[in-house]
Amino acid sequence: MEVTTKSMPYEDWKDNEYIESLVNELKASGTNVIVGSLDKLINWGRSNSLWPLTFATSCCGIEFIALGAARYDMARFGWEVARSSPRQADFMMVAGTIVHRMAPVVRRLYDQLAEPKYVIACGGCAISGGPFKNSYHVLKGVGEILPVDVYCPGCPPRPEAMIYAIMQLSRKVKVEKFFGGVNRKENQKEFLKNHPISETTN
């Protein structure tokens, strides 16, 4: 099964092997016809109306604004409904550096997102700390505190790269299983268990 979208031919995609491995996982776990068809329908709906959370800390946020404007026009893909409240959003694009003081805030925003929720680490800073990696106050990637679904490199990534990242996310959403099992659902639980919000005392 090829997971693709109308806007781009299959061979132009990168990381096809990864999506294929998810497909194999999906096949191996087996499911009955009714649930499987329902899954397809739900995933079709979800993958075509991913609503982002308006969340940006620095430069990448400006490119995200450009993504919403006329030239790049993310409305073509059904992502234009940027929500300011995490309760109404499907995924958060971590656009910008995450620092120590911001970390609990980001985590709270993530916790407030309604399920199913996804994270895109956008830009070098959110992936690894980027140029500020050696700083005393910068996280070495948002992956330290959140389970990330798609990494989008660049400093800042061009709007085209952001479009590609969200399209990749939408491909991942297409191979999801409603009752868990495939595509990070389990990993997410495990991740959050290993990264608890503990009350540190001084």
Partner 1 sequence: MANIQETIAKQFPEVEFAQGETLELNVPDAKWHDVAAALKNDFGFDNLRALIGMDWGEELGIVCYLVNSKTYEMIRVKVVADGRENPFLHSVTDLFTVAGIYEREVFDFFGIKFIGNPDMRHLFLRNDWVGYPFRKDYDTNPTLNPVRLDHEETEDTTVEYVEGADGKIHKEERVIFAPEDFVVNIGPQHPATHGVLRLRTAVDGEEIKKIDLYLGYIHRGIEKLCEGLTYPQTIHFTDRLDYLGALMNSHCLCMCIEKALQVEVPRRAQVIRCIMDELMRLNSHLLAMGTFCMDLGATTMLFYALRERETILDIFEKTTGARMTFNYNVIGGVRQELADDFVSDVKKLLEIMPKAIKEYNQVFTGNVIAKNRMEGVGVLTPEAAVAYNVTGPAGRSAGWNYDVRRAQPYGIYPELEFDVVTCTEGDSMARFKARITEMEQSCRIIAQLIDNIPEGEICAKVPKVIKLPEGHWFQEVETGKGAFGCYIESTGTTSPWRMKFNSPCFCLAGVVDHLCRGQKIADLITIGGTLDYIVPDIDR
Instruction: Indicate whether 194 belongs to the interface with partner 1 (CB under 8 A).
Output: no
Cβ proximity to partner 1: between 97 and 183 the closer is: 97
Cis peptide before 159 (omega within 30 of 0): no
Q: How far is the CB of 167 from partner 1 (least distance, A)?
A: 20
Which amino acid, 160? E
Cβ proximity to partner 1: between 26 and 164 the closer is: 164
Instruction: Indicate whether 131 belongs to the interface with partner 1 (CB under 8 A).
Output: yes
Cβ proximity to partner 1: between 32 and 134 the closer is: 134
Rounded to whole angstroms, how far apart are CA atoms 161 and 154?
8
Interface residue with partner 1 among 14, 84, 87, 193 (CB under 8 A) is 84
Cα Rg for the chain, rounded, in angstroms? 17
Q: Among residues 154, 170, 143, which one has the least CA distance to residue 77?
A: 170
Q: How many other CB atoms are there within 10 angstroms of residue 115's CB atom?
A: 7
Interface residue with partner 1 among 52, 96, 143, 147 (CB under 8 A) is 96
Interface residue with partner 1 among 28, 33, 87, 200 (CB under 8 A) is 200
Greatest alpha-carbon pair distance for the chain in Å reads 56
Rounded to whole angstroms, how far apart are CA atoms 57 and 71?
23
- Give the x/- contact pattern for partner 1 in 133-172, rule: CB under 8 A: -xxxxxx----xx---------xx-x--------------
Q: How far is the CB of 6 from partner 1 (least distance, A)?
A: 26
Contact 92, 109 (CB under 8 A): yes
Element (H, E) at 61: helix 59-68
What residues make contact with partner 1 under the rule CB under 8 A? Answer: 54-59, 61-63, 65-66, 69-71, 84, 96-97, 99-105, 107-109, 131-132, 134-139, 144-145, 155-156, 158, 195-200, 202
